[in-house]
Chains A and B, each alone.
Chain A
Amino acid sequence: MPFERILAAIDGSEASGHAFAKALELAALTGASLTALAVEGPLPAYAATVGEVEEVRREKDAFFQRLLDQTRAQAEAAGVPLDVQLRPGHAAELIVRIARETDADLIVLGHKGHFLRDHLLGSTADRVAEHADCPVMIVK
């Protein structure tokens, strides 16, 4: 069997939507188990008021709740069993770590192409491709 455990990283962007659709297709074709990982980015560092942190947190919670509901519904419609994980942390680091922890043999993720950030810091996709122990599929 080509793939047994697929890890798809999702963040609500258009590219991540395409990537998740591809991961669903692959899981349906190969019968692989599918895990969707949503990474909650950091809260504002060194905040001056609890309010600033709380409001960002509430926005994030609402956003990820919608994203996870939508992802589950997509998988259900495709008839693919799905494990969903929402973790706080640094995106690239966490995707690589969860892939190791779940013994994933394929990581699927989107590439947003943020011009300035990609040139200055490198993209999440680049970093995952560099550090992952398994094949990585980057979907545009």
Chain B
Amino acid sequence: MSELAIAAILAAAILAASTISVEIGISVALLELGLGVVVGNAFDLSVPDWLAFVGSFAGIVLTFLAGAEVDLPQFRREWRASLSIGAVSFAAPFFACMAFAYWALGWTGDASQIAGIALSTTSLAVVYAVLVETGLNQTIIGKRIMSATFVTDFGTAAALSILFIKPNLWILAFVAVSAVLILGLPRLSPWFFARYGNRVIEPEIKLVFAALFLLIWLGDKANSHAVLPAFVLGLALSNHYAAHRQEQERLRVVAFAFLTPFFFFKGGMNVSVSALWANLGVLALLFGAKMVPKLTGVYPLARRYCAPHAGFTTLLMSTGLTFGTISSLYGLQAGIIDETQFSLLIAVVVLSAIVPTVIAQRFLQPSAAEEARRDERARIGEPLLQREGH
């Protein structure tokens, strides 16, 4: 099939994903991933080079957006609780899944590391939607969960950038340019955006894209990955975007309209349904390898910092989607994992977006009004035992 034919099929499928998303209320990303699986398997399509390229860039843009969406002032207020929950939420499944893939499934060391990274993630977006919908994002427990998610995501981004590094001299340029961009762009942006912003030609978006392409190129030359600097660059600009919502909105429009659909379609098209079908047992085991350490690692800390909603907190910290997909795609593209391993990882990532969320919402969702009252009582200094109703 010609590349133009593939582009036309993808464009139609991307349009279908958007309209279905609006009609049924499921995120467009999940539908793009799902339709990617359908298109890839039904038409037996392989991912063309242009899609691989656009998809890779979109992955970095998604990482940048994830950093830019972090509420830093909130994180500073809640860092103690968030750091411990977030760190364990990353480390427990990372080591457990890596060990499981290596010893139980016989994957190579590098492939096991990809499994560990992809299955260690927590999805800020999934968590955020649940918390906003219930009003819990305004409560202390909601803020702690969101801040902890940031810590887990940071762990994932750092692991992906550091573990597969094969350093050469380019690493110096990569680190230096990353530092200059991370420190310099937040200082440059007020002047640049004031001088060139608010135009349909969007120089401020082009500035961000230029910075990200530079990081991708240097990361590639240095045998590393631009995920970590892109995430931190987004983080460095998060305060700027918080103060200039319209700029963030326009960046999202460009990303969601053109870039991220290709990222998720690329992910979906690489999934082999037959490989999944042949490995359903392994899929279940990998899902368990992610969930068990997440649940057992996070729950004791959640009991300490998010009582009496430890179960709800633990389940939300067990969700995953974007970073899991980014990590798995990196592994596939770098030749670290094969198509079957990739398919298994993506399936577990998608399951982890859905299963813990449904259970948390259905059975363990706290009342936002009750939590707000609890926060108010805590603020005015009512004793803890009384607060907990003992």
State the A residues within 8 Å of B (CB). Answer: 41-55, 57, 88
Contacts and interface: CB of A to CB of B under 8 A. Distances in A.
B124 A50 contact: yes
Contacts of A52: 27-29, 125, 252, 256
Nearest to A45: B26
8 contacts: A45-B27, A46-B27, A46-B129, A47-B129, A48-B321, A49-B29, A49-B255, A52-B29
Contacts of B123: 48
Interface of B: 21, 25-30, 62, 65-66, 69, 123-126, 128-129, 132-135, 248-249, 252, 255-256, 260, 264, 321-322, 325, 353-354, 357
Given A48-B321, A51-B252, A55-B249, A42 B25 contact: yes
B120 to A, nearest CB: 17
B29 A47 contact: yes
Contact of B25 (A45, A49, A54, A55): A45
Contacts of B28: 44, 52
Most chain B Cβ neighbours within 10 Å, of A41, A43, A47, A55: A47
A61 to B, nearest CB: 11
A38 B260 CA distance: 33
3 closest Cβ pairs, A-B complex: A48-B29, A47-B27, A50-B69
Contact of B256 (A41, A51, A57, A88): A51
Contacts of A51: 65, 69, 248, 252, 255-256
A71 B352 CA distance: 41
Given A46-B126, A46-B357, A51-B252, A57 B21 contact: no
A45 B357 contact: yes
Contacts of A44: 21, 25-28, 129
B353 A49 contact: no
